[in-house]
Amino acid sequence: MWLFLLRRCGLAVLIVMLAVSALYLMIHAIPGDPASIILGPRATDEMKAALYIKMGLDQPVYVQLASFFANILQGDLGYDVFSQRDVTDIVLEQLPWTLALIFASVFWAALVGIPLGCYSALHANTWFDTLTGIVSVGTIAIPSFVVAIYSLLVFSVTLQWLPAIGAGEQGDLLSQLEHLILPAFAVGLGWVGYISRLVRASMLEVMGSNHIRTAKAFGLPSRWITFRYALRLAILPTVTLLGVGIGYLLSASLFAEIVFARPGIGKLIFDAVSTRNYPVVMGSVLVTTGLFVIATTLADFINALLDPRIRAGR
Amino acid sequence: MAINTIQKGLRLSRRTLLMAGTVMGLNMMVPFSMAASDEVLQSRSYVDITSLDPANYLNAVDEDVMGAIYSKLIYFKPGNKWEWELQAAESIEQVDATHIKFKLKEGIQFSNGFGEMTAQDVKFSFERAAFGENPAAAADWGGALEEVEVTGKYTGVIVLKKPYQPLWNLALSYAAGNIISQKAYESVGEFTNSPPASSGPYIVKEWRPKQKVILERNPDYYGEPSAYKEIHINQIDDEKTAEIAFESGNLDVTRISMSSVQSYRETPPDNSQLQVFPSLFYVWLGINFENPKLQDPRVRQAIQYAVDVPSILQASYFGEAEASTGIIAPGLLGHRAQSLIAPEADIAKAKALLAEAGVSNLELSLDVLNKATNVTTAQIIQALLSQIGIKVNINQHEAGSFWTLGSEKAGERWKDIELILNRYSMVPDPYYATVNFITSQKGKWNWERFSNEEFDQLNEQAQAELDLEKRGAMYQRMQDLMEQSGSYRFITHEAEPLAIRDNVSAGLRPDGRPLYRHFKPAN
């Protein structure tokens, strides 16, 4: 198990380094001059040159990249010359809002999707199964931004039950929860469908397997068989999906941050790319890539815990 | 079993848990509204602040906030005319072309115990902005400041190296003219968004990056206390989101999209009104002066005549914006009453000009920022130019790429520019606009690569001209020269539509920008 974990962690570090390096080269390849964008039309050449030096852009790209990684080892993500603040502070300010949104979305989607999928599998080909199938595909098909806009129009504009914008008052948990409901609903709705369909399919497959038939033949209670043996295996693809899904949601949260005017890492990266604010782009992408890799590694780890065959590398 | 354990651990019975859930649910059913209070004003900005240090400001929102927390010698009055009046100054007088005497009001206090504002603070603030590294602040002073002479506790003289009339509208009454406390600044060293001391009716209570700036009443303000206890400036990029927030009662004032103007006019949201202000932005179709395909002036003129501005205003601006006559908006010094070429297209003349030039089967690229309004405008231009036989290919660019298209420092793309749809921001002095089109700006912000000796000379002379009438005439002539070159088809200054709650009396500049210190509850 420890070897498995060590191997996965080593791979994770390599993936992060490769992804960040690739992005670094890509962002320098696209047209756009940060000094012109930042300083505006009235900047002199001397002012632009001074900014280049401040941002370290006067160095060759490979030197910039090497110094970026060297700084990371010291826990320094760089310095934003616009706001004159550390990138680490900027990223850490925005990250909790995005994580709260992602975890709330995934949490409620799993909370509804897993039981729905289980129940559909156990009552396959009934009217309930057909209905959940239609609803699930429907929720997958509706784009999240449409859900976001309609939920805003219904719950904020017409009923005025929930706030339309922002992330809530600092230190006021209730206010933050109120501000989280609609974005999490919009982001998570499609995932309810995904998860319930996946759990249903896996459950049907597992319920037909030999060891479940044997358990039934021994006369074990059906609830015991379902939750103790079948769901434990059927949940594996869902755990993997959630691991990958969290990474996907890191970027997908951008639309929710724009529509609901929420702070977050997605919008931070979007704005930073538009202004070619390289230090903020790199710092934010490093953190999100790291989170993505951690989430997928964690999913692998949980799968290994649940399924001894994975631990054994079979 | 697990739930029971948790309940025991938290000493929470199932009944209590259910009751708590019900109360939370009911709480959320109560209509939610943050706005429309006499104590708190909820406003919106399209970007986050970058710096509240007047010597380091970067965008207009920085000045919206700084205007509420600092004081300037003079400031733009709210209303529909561009006029300034005294703020921190008791008097100010231009003694000659290079000397401006001022006297501060006595008793203007900086917050946090940093004492009274003195002429030394004025000197410190102005020289720091004018001689600093920030291009916005330094350019507002135009390289013209020699020094600020302190002649007494409250009196001083602004000494210029050369006559520089834009000083009144660009430096003294705008962002770089905000006065900070030298003592407070020296106590903290650098600062960005946490000013150590304020002298305006509000102070910064809190800045939540990418969320909002909260201003609160300044208890040490020397004048009448601010009308609101707090002002929340919420950062919302997307105008449609802002509209939803306004309609749901979360905002008291916001800019809305042009596409929503008609519906807001016909059926405004409850307890609100729509006000449309003339904006200062200027939008034009640029035609590259140096591009081989466009070097014949008759070809450039044909394009000018073929573009029907009213069609663009109808389709891209929903009929809510006016045609512009140049780069200087109505109400500003140097505005032209009419352009040399009428806004309406003259297709016959355009075709004749092309035929005269012996050009046929012309194919041109049109570079455009990938915003809906710009793309629509580009498509209309494409259709209009096809009527005279010019095929236009539209190249859409994202902001980072677009804003460096014409820069020689950013690669070779400037050589490929043929047609470009552009839009620049503006402050209320004509110099701010014309300076972008002088010869030395070629390859920087003069993307049409327009070059005219008379234009360059007039730009220099107009800066120094004290007679406003003469100065205005110079700027009008400069716009004539731009239009005669065939490199510009002026389109519009756009419009600034604002939705404002009925219980808010908004203090706004003539272009609709907020002057937060002048906002108050309407009774």
- Answer whether A26 touches B (CB < 8 Å): no
User: What pLDDT, on a 0 to 100 scale, did the predictor assign at position A279?
Assistant: 85
What secondary structure, in 3-state letters, does chain A show? CHHHHHHHHHHHHHHHHHHHHHHHHHHHHCCCCHHHHHHCCCCCHHHHHHHHHHHCCCCCHHHHHHHHHHHHHCCCCCEECCCCEEHHHHHHHHHHHHHHHHHHHHHHHHHHHHHHHHHHHHCCCCHHHHHHHHHHHHHHHCCHHHHHHHHHHHHHHHCCCCCCCCCCCCCCHHHHHHHHHHHHHHHHHHHHHHHHHHHHHHHHHHHCCHHHHHHHHCCCCHHHHHHHHHHHHHCHHHHHHHHHHHHHHHHHHHHHHHHCCCCCHHHHHHHHHHCCCHHHHHHHHHHHHHHHHHHHHHHHHHHHHHCHHHHCCC
B358 C-beta neighbours (distance < 10 Å), count: 9
CB contacts < 8 A (A, B): 152
Helices (H), B324-465: 347-357, 372-386, 399-402, 430-434, 453-464
The minimum CA-CA distance between A277 and chain B, rounded to whole Å, is 10
Q: What's the mean pLDDT in B479-498?
A: 97
Q: Is the dihedral of CA B191, B196, B202, B204 positive or negative?
A: positive
Class of domain A93-234+247-288: mainly alpha
Q: What's the mean pLDDT in B355-359?
A: 95
- Which residues in chain A are closer than 8 Å to B189, comparing Cβ atoms? none
Whether the predicted pLDDT of B399 surpasses 60: yes
DSSP code at position B162: S
User: What pLDDT, on a 0 to 100 scale, did the predictor assign at position B26?
Assistant: 47
The pTM for the full model equals 0.82
Task: Determine whether the interchain pair A263/B238 forms a contact, defined as Cβ–Cβ distance below 8 Å.
Answer: no
Q: Which of residues 171-190 of A touch B (CB under 8 A)?
A: 174, 178, 181
- Answer whether B194 touches A (CB < 8 Å): no
- Return the top range by mean pLDDT from A214-218, A308-312, B495-499: B495-499
- Answer whether B445 touches A (CB < 8 Å): yes
DSSP secondary structure, B378-417, as one string: HHHHHHHHHTTTEEEEEEEE-HHHHTTTT-GGG-SGGGG-
**Closest partner CB to B250 (pick from A84, A164, A258):** A164
User: What pLDDT, on a 0 to 100 scale, did the predictor assign at position B29?
Assistant: 45
Whether the predicted pLDDT of B38 surpasses 90: no
- Which residues in chain B are closer than 8 Å to A262, comparing Cβ atoms? 211
Whether the predicted pLDDT of A274 surpasses 80: no
So what's the ipTM on this one?
0.73
Share of chain B above pLDDT 90, in %: 80
Quote the CA–CA distance of B272 and A312 in Å, as a whole number.
68
Whether the predicted pLDDT of B98 surpasses 70: yes
Q: What's the mean pLDDT in B388-402?
A: 91
Task: Determine whether the interchain pair A37/B400 forms a contact, defined as Cβ–Cβ distance below 8 Å.
Answer: yes
Q: What's the mean pLDDT in B44-73?
A: 93
Q: What's the mean pLDDT in B170-193?
A: 92
- Answer whether A133 touches B (CB < 8 Å): no
User: What pLDDT, on a 0 to 100 scale, did the predictor assign at position A269?
Assistant: 87
pLDDT in tens, B134-156: 777 888 888 899 999 999 999 99
Higher pLDDT, A85 or B53: B53
**Closest partner CB to A84 (pick from B190, B241, B242):** B190
User: What pLDDT, on a 0 to 100 scale, did the predictor assign at position B19?
Assistant: 56
Q: Is the dihedral of CA A8, A12, A14, A18 positive or negative?
A: positive
Q: Which of residues 87-126 of A touch B (CB under 8 A)?
A: 90, 93-94
Nearest residue on chain B to A170, alpha-carbon basis: B208
- Which residues in chain A are closer than 8 Å to B56, comparing Cβ atoms? 84
pLDDT in tens, B6-23: 344 444 454 554 555 555
| H-helix or E-strand spanning residue B264 | helix B261-266
Q: Give the list of residues 6+ apart from residue B446 with CB closer than 8 angstroms, or none.
A: B406, B436, B437, B438, B439
pLDDT in tens, A37-47: 666 666 667 77
User: What pLDDT, on a 0 to 100 scale, did the predictor assign at position A312?
Assistant: 65
For chain A, the structural domain boundaries read: 2-88, 93-234+247-288
Task: Determine whether the interchain pair A261/B32 forms a contact, defined as Cβ–Cβ distance below 8 Å.
Answer: no
Higher pLDDT, B329 or A302: B329
pLDDT tier, A195 (very low <50, low <70, confident <90, very high otherwise): very high
Q: Give the list of residues 6+ apart from residue B203 with CB closer than 8 angstroms, or none.
A: B69, B111, B195, B215, B216, B217, B218
- Which residues in chain A are closer than 8 Å to B133, comparing Cβ atoms? 47, 50
